[in-house]
Chains A and B, each alone.
Chain A
Amino acid sequence: MPFEMPVEKWAAAVNEVTIGATSAEGGTRTSVVKIGGDTSLPFLHFEGKTPNRPVIAMEVLDSKPESWAAPLEQALGDVAGDPAAWAKKCVDEFGADMVCLRMAGAHPDQGDKSAEDCAQAVKSVLEAVGVPLIIWGCGQAEKDNEIMPRCSEVAAGENCLLGAATQENYKTITAACMADGHKLITEAPIDINIQKQVNILVSDMGLDLSRIVMFQATGGLGYGMEYAYSIMERTRLAALSGDRMLSMPMLAVVGPEAWKAKEARTDAETAPEWGAAMERGVSWETTTATCFLHGGTNVLVMWHPQAVSLLRKMIDSLMGEEA
């Protein structure tokens, strides 16, 4: 008896979102990325379309991280502390589709940089690279409400992706996003109900649903990755079933989460039985990213260039003929 592939018929599709604006669209980017538009669970090409390949954003911090695992220091140490040089290296050497500029140094406990410092970092990265930008605050609500409007303003017209609106703090960043023509990340703490609620809240302010990208505060391999995965999958199923408040593309922050794990960070002298530190850390990041890729993630924020390269090969093979 011939095998018949079971094919699911879905009622709806994931929203398609474009990030970045070229000079023709009023910005200065030399490339834009399109994400989403999927009409089935990820990479089931026999069932539906994955019209846009998942994109890799490499994270750039506005200041040098205080403690870094040796493999990261080795790969990125020469540019850490200089966001423009770091971004340029990510694009020119490692082929990043996007740069995710995070204002870690603006956090009151980690440098407390001013809004003007942050805006300068945005400007310098916009000048250094031509790819679209994700601009992400420091995660402390009050400080983000101070710095993000300014960061948004200096990037007006560039159609960046701003992060992140949360259930407790969404008004300032949403207003800035709407005023300056950007896209918005809505964040939830591994909770699909809160994710949906944040989307309702920002859309109540007048932000079109087609301008939202969703982010579940991710856990890395061994630290809640499977919870994040199952929520991503459920979110995607809701989108395909026609839930308009969960139909946006998804983003995952992989690098920082994966490299938080002791299994990724610990050096080989401390834990010789765990094998070479470099391979371990890179594997940790790649495995986490691969898992989220299968969960339906459209944008993966990565750290280590080797993990980026492995992930790109994975995307190539999963996209098959649609690559």
Chain B
Amino acid sequence: MFSIGERINGMFKSVKDAIQTKNPEAIQALAKKQLEAGANCLDVNVGPAAADPLEAMGWLVKAIREVTDAPLAIDTTKPDVMRKGLELAGPGSIINSTKGQQDQLDIFVPLAVEYDATLIALTIDENGIPRDANGRAEIALRVVAAAMEKGLEPQRLMIDAVILPVNVTQPTPGHVLETIRNVKVLSDPPPKTVLGLSNVSQSTQLRELLNRTYLVMALAAGLDAAIVDVLDTELMDAMIASEVLLNRAVYADDFLKAYRA
């Protein structure tokens, strides 16, 4: 699984403080720690409270680039902040994210092409989040068509079927799994699929148990990538075991160690 580390996010107090006090060491330590824990990519989000998001994104990406060349997922809904992040992060970045309505796709698909980036597209449009899997697949199809039209190949698209907290809407985890399966027949080669995993357990009890159980289910449905807390060792162990059981990684007695090598 392609693991996107979620911790560099201004929603976390330590990150918010680091942004406010311009403390690059705290951010750099968090970047390194997540990469050591198995992150293939780092999500970068200035958080809702940033006074000047454009400036904050520039500062964050520069601070991270001083210690690693790992791919970054620039996490913002604002096109100017996105462009700034992509510029500083370099090619191979991820745009996190666009919604599925046309006016958004018109902005973010060309950005992905221009910056040689992968585009995460949420199955949300002007009507909000669809009630079921069919509605999600419809938006995904629109996204794939828009991408192909502008020359963004499907493998550089990641469809995020938008998981919601299980204590808010219990049918959604099932709808999202169905969407992950359906997305794979939209094109050949198909787009990738991604989840912002931790949302499934927002404001619930036993969050880690819910997270890792749902991740295993989503992987079995064909999930390619997830934005996760890579520092949750049990979560990552469950992910690795799933990769082995799904025959995506070759078994060895020390399979956890091998995967992390």
User: Residues of A at under 8 Å CB distance from B?
Assistant: 192-194, 196-197, 199-201, 203, 234, 238, 243-246
Contact = CB atoms under 8 A, between A and B. Distances in A.
A196 B251 CA distance: 8
Contacts, number: 34
13 contacts: A194-B252, A196-B250, A196-B252, A196-B258, A197-B252, A199-B252, A203-B261, A234-B250, A243-B250, A243-B258, A244-B258, A244-B261, A245-B252
Most chain A C-beta atoms within 10 Å of own C-beta, residue among B250, B251, B258: B250
A200 B250 contact: no
Contacts of B238: none
B1 to A, nearest CB: 12
A100 B257 CA distance: 33
Contact of A197 (B249, B254, B261): B254
Contacts of A246: 250
B261 A193 contact: no
Nearest to B254: A200
Nearest to A238: B250
B251 A200 contact: no
A197 B258 CA distance: 8
Contacts of B252: 193-194, 196-197, 199-200, 245
Given A203-B261, A245-B261, A197 B250 contact: no
Nearest to B247: A234
B254 A243 contact: no
Contacts of B257: 200
A194 B258 CA distance: 12
A275 to B, nearest CB: 41
B66 interface: no
Nearest to A203: B261
Contacts of A192: 250
Contacts of A244: 258, 261
A245 to B, nearest CB: 5
A161 to B, nearest CB: 22
A265 B175 CA distance: 63
A20 B136 CA distance: 59
A201 B254 CA distance: 9
Residue among A234, A243, A245 facing the most chain B CB atoms (10 A cut-off): A245
Nearest to B249: A243
Interface in B208-259: 249-254, 257-258
A200 to B, nearest CB: 5
A193 B251 contact: yes
Q: Output the residue of A197, A201, A246 with the most chain B CB within 10 A.
A: A197
A85 B173 CA distance: 72
A190 to B, nearest CB: 14
Nearest to B261: A244
A197 B251 CA distance: 9
A194 B250 CA distance: 10
B131 to A, nearest CB: 37
Contacts of A200: 252-254, 257-258, 261
A240 B251 CA distance: 16
Given A193-B251, A197-B254, 5 more contacts: A196-B250, A196-B251, A196-B252, A245-B252, A245-B258
A192 B250 CA distance: 8
The 5 closest A-B pairs by CB, nearest first: A196-B252, A197-B252, A245-B258, A193-B251, A200-B254
Interface in B51-110: none
B210 to A, nearest CB: 30
A192 B258 CA distance: 13
Contacts of A201: 254
A104 to B, nearest CB: 30
